[in-house]
Amino acid sequence: MAANTFGSILQFTSFGESHGPAIGGVLDGLPPGLIIDYEFIKDQLKRRKPVFKQGGTSRREDDDIVWLSGIVEGKTTGAPLAFMMENKNYQSKDYDELKDVYRPSHADYTYEKKYGIRDYRGGGRSSARETATRVVAGSIAQSVLKTYGIEILSAVTQIGDVKASKSLAGITKDKMYHLKYGFLDDNQIDRIDHLIESLRQDNDTTGGVISCVIRNVPVGLGEPVYHKLHADLASAMMSINAVKGFEYGEGFKSAGQKGSEHNDAFVTKDNRIQTETNRSGGIQGGISNGEEILFQVAFKPVSSIGKKQRTTDKKGEEREIKITGQHDVCVVPRALPVVESMAAMVIADHLLWANVGKIS
């Protein structure tokens, strides 16, 4: 199985399966002398844990990190930074009945046809359990970004058919961390509670949308052809489990606009050239223009549902299954630190690639 490494200069390789003994990763290309913010990493992993008292997975992992290499006295050495986290709270027996059948909208069929074998215990590498390693690596990447004054914030702006009426404009990290379910609009929380409870009782799931802003990005990150900054961000986001859509700036809305409506005029303000509007989402020609980078990520409903579904087994015979196990009604709030982490690795990779400034 190839393609378990992400990035060009800052490279992250993850390993492990959902029901294996451990998951972990190796982060290579970090500059030496970077202070590891252990508390921040713990906080980010905590944000990834289930948020719904009703309708969240019953699986609880401690996510205690064992640091294996690349750190001395709390600072990076420049050597590959390796870590692992034990899997302790998994129940493989929940998947015994699924060994020979293909779950609808899962990776069971494609994995087996591609590799000739699959880990049916929780999906193996296709499980979202793998994203915990991305949060660790991405949290470290955010420490790189802090040395440049770059900040990444995200919030849930849609769960099911409930949409936030607010934008990320002016949101602070403190406010973001106090949003219930990470949802941007406090006035809609009761609707979300009702929706999740209804879905739980009906053994069903739903998806949603995460909006993200990256602030204080310098002008010049990104390459004009095959490593456009927005293309690398799109690739990063589309690699996250259950992601089905990505747009930056005004995205699909721009398809219905006139050029005169969509263009961002350049102006001089505060002794620097900037754009009067930001419909481009902070990226033009594949290169950052110094404005806030804005993008949205759409997540499909969780595929593991408790309803009876039709499928086939390995012999092609029709079967009816009802998936049991530890699953979420809506995974979107838990994906916030994953989105931020992947964005951080993209920006940090481009910063190191461009060699913009140095860490002191």
pTM of this prediction?
0.92
| Structure confidence at residue 61 (pLDDT) | 65
Contact assessment for residue 302 and residue 242, using Cβ atoms and an 8 Å cutoff: yes
Locate all alpha helices (DSSP H) within the chain, ordered by sequence: 38-47, 108-115, 131-146, 173-177, 189-201, 229-238, 259-262, 336-354
Q: Can you list the domains of the chain with their CATH numbers?
A: 5-354 (3.60.150.10)
| Structure confidence at residue 90 (pLDDT) | 64
Nearest to 204 by CA among 123, 104, 99, 127: 104
The string of pLDDT tens digits covering residues 156-177 is: 999 999 999 988 988 898 888 8
- Report, in angstroms and rounded to the nearest whole number, the Rg of the chain calculated over CA atoms: 21
Contact assessment for residue 115 and residue 121, using Cβ atoms and an 8 Å cutoff: no
| Structure confidence at residue 360 (pLDDT) | 44
| Structure confidence at residue 133 (pLDDT) | 96
Q: What parts of the chain have a pLDDT lower than 50?
A: 356-360
| Structure confidence at residue 92 (pLDDT) | 55
